[in-house]
Amino acid sequence: MNITRSTFLRAGLAAAATLATGAPLLAQGKKLVFATEGAFPPFNMTKPDGTLYGFEMDMLAEIAKRAGFEYELIAQAWDGMIQGLIDGKYDAVIDSVTITAKRLEVVDFSLPYTTGGSTFAVMKESGIALPGTGTSINLDDAAATDAAIAQIAAVLEGKTVGVHVSTIQADFLDKYLAPRGITIRTYPNGPDVYQDLSNGRLDAAMASATNIAAFLEKNAETATATGPAFSGGVMGKGAAIVVQKGKGELADKLSAALQSMSDDGTLAALSNQWFGINVTPKL
Q: 3-state secondary structure string, the chain?
A: CCCCHHHHHHHHHHHHHHHHHCCCCCCCCCCEEEEECCCECCCEEECCCCCEECHHHHHHHHHHHHHCCCEEEEECCCCCHHHHHHCCCCCEEEEEEECCHHHHCCEEEEEEEECCCEEEEEEHHHCCCCCCCCCEEECCCHHHHHHHHHHHHHHCCCCEEEEECCCHHHHHHHHHCHHHCCEEEEECCHHHHHHHHHCCCCCEEEEEHHHHHHHHHHHCCCEEEEEEEEECHHHCCCEEEEEECCCHHHHHHHHHHHHHHHHCCHHHHHHHHHHCCCCCCCC
**C-beta separation of 222 from 125 below 8 A:** yes
Among 217, 232, 183, residue whose Cα is nearest residue 203: 183
Residues in the chain: 283
In this predicted structure, what is the pLDDT of residue 28?
55
| 239: amino acid identity, one letter | A
Among 45, 27, 236, 227, residue whose Cα is nearest residue 120: 227
CATH dotted code for 5-115+238-275: 3.40.190.10
Specify the domain boundaries for CATH 3.40.190.10 within the chain: 5-115+238-275, 118-235
In this predicted structure, what is the pLDDT of residue 48?
97
Structural fold of domain 118-235: D-Maltodextrin-Binding Protein; domain 2 (3.40.190)
Beta bridge partners of 53: 45
Q: Which residues of the chain have pLDDT under 70?
A: 1-29
Residue 21 to residues 13, 94, 153, 259, Cα–Cα distance (Å): 13, 25, 53, 15
